[in-house]
Amino acid sequence: MIVVLKPNVGEEKREQLMDWLKSMDLAVHVSEGAYQTVLGLIGDTSKVDMDLIASLDIVESVKRVSETFKCCNRKFHPEDTVVRVGDARIGGGHFCLIAGPCSVESEEQIVAVARAVKAAGADLLRGGAFKPRTSPYDFQGLHADGIRLLKLAREATGLPIVTEIMSASDLPLFEDVDVLQVGARNMQNFDLLKELGQTGKPILLKRGLANTLKELLMSAEYIMASGNENVILCERGIRTYSDYLRNTLDLSAVPMLHELSHLPVIVDPSHATGIARMVPPMALAATACGCDGLIIEVHNDPSHALCDGAQSLRPEEYAALVGRIRAVREAATC
């Protein structure tokens, strides 16, 4: 249920109303917008008298929210959430470029790619230290050493770092990481999501390979219900009938997620297509349909990459793409 307050309601009256609602065993989620305050009631609202609440002089309207996701629901929080990472902002009109290799391989590699993507205009550096590989015999990442190397690349460039966490038991290693990524394969690792909810850190939550938008939002809800509102949703392609492409990029997810939720939505055209030459057209299409950012794999020597070389852009290709992304953004917002 949501309770929309009239503009300019005093603090004391609002607190009284919230205390009363809480006394009915409800949790109250407050969304303070520039124009109005919305109270989201979470819990069993079946016995709450809507008419009584609506009759209060400080209340403008009361509505039932049928969706099971509450905290990430736009009805609870009408204004876009803006996630802040260092100087970067994601959402609410702020576009964020995340780029870097699939995995961190060496100091030379990650620092070189970090410098190149920074020069091209990237806001954040990506790089996997813990890699969820289909085969246990494939490169699994450099683990703690990979995170150490990411921090060196951050020191060298000033770019905040994004890297995937696969297990809550690794959390101490991620203390100084700027954005924690939950990969597609872990989207429904609910214990991990609950732990991440307690960190307060920005979480980049990728859509699972075969998950619906509602399931993605319910996973965001796990993080948010545990106390962390800094969630970035990511469409990275889903399993369909694609034969020549790694996945099918579901771009209609972008406007639909924006409609359903106030959280920022970014797109990963690299894992969606699996082919470097497919990345620019899909990145531009994602930009045109209103995503809040792009996460793109870039490698300085793709043919020798230890992971996902075939879908990685070379630095000069990435730089050229950034120019085109900016042009599409300008055209799309005019």
**Which stretches of the chain bind ligand PEP, using CB under 6 A?**
102, 128, 132, 183-185, 206, 236, 268, 271
Taking the complex as a whole, the smallest distance from the CB of residue 131 to Mn ion amounts, in Å, to 8
- The HSE-up count of residue 33 (CA atoms within 13 Å, CB side) is 19
Residue nearest to ligand PEP (CB): 183
Amino acid at 80: D
Of residues 302-321, those binding Mn ion (CB under 5 A): 308
Residue closer to ligand PEP by CB (options 209, 256) is 209
100 binds, among ligand PEP, Mn ion, none (CB under 5 to 8 A by kind): none
Taking the complex as a whole, the smallest distance from the CB of residue 271 to ligand PEP amounts, in Å, to 4
Residue closer to ligand PEP by CB (options 183, 302) is 183
Q: For residue 16, what are its two tokens?
A: 């009284």
Signed CA dihedral, 9, 77, 229, 124: sign only? negative
299 binds, among ligand PEP, Mn ion, none (CB under 5 to 8 A by kind): none
- Answer for the pair 146, 125: CB distance below 8 angstroms, yes or no: no
132 binds, among Mn ion, ligand PEP, none (CB under 5 to 8 A by kind): ligand PEP
How many angstroms separate the CA atoms of 321 and 249, rounded? 18
Q: Which residue carries 């999501």 as its tokens?
A: 193
Q: Tell me if 267 contacts Mn ion by CB under 5 A.
A: no
Q: In terms of Cα–Cα distance, which of 155, 98, 162, 31 is closest to 297? A: 98
Signed CA dihedral, 307, 141, 109, 199: sign only? positive
Residue closer to ligand PEP by CB (options 133, 314) is 133
Q: Tell me if 283 contacts Mn ion by CB under 5 A.
A: no
DSSP state of 277: G
Taking the complex as a whole, the smallest distance from the CB of residue 177 to Mn ion amounts, in Å, to 17
- Answer for the pair 265, 291: CB distance below 8 angstroms, yes or no: yes
6 binds, among ligand PEP, Mn ion, none (CB under 5 to 8 A by kind): none
What is the greatest pairwise CA distance in the chain? 68
Residue count, binding to Mn ion (CB under 5 A): 2
Q: Which residue carries 């872990």 as its tokens?
A: 186
206 binds, among Mn ion, ligand PEP, none (CB under 5 to 8 A by kind): ligand PEP
Residue numbers at the binding site for Mn ion (CB under 5 A): 102, 308
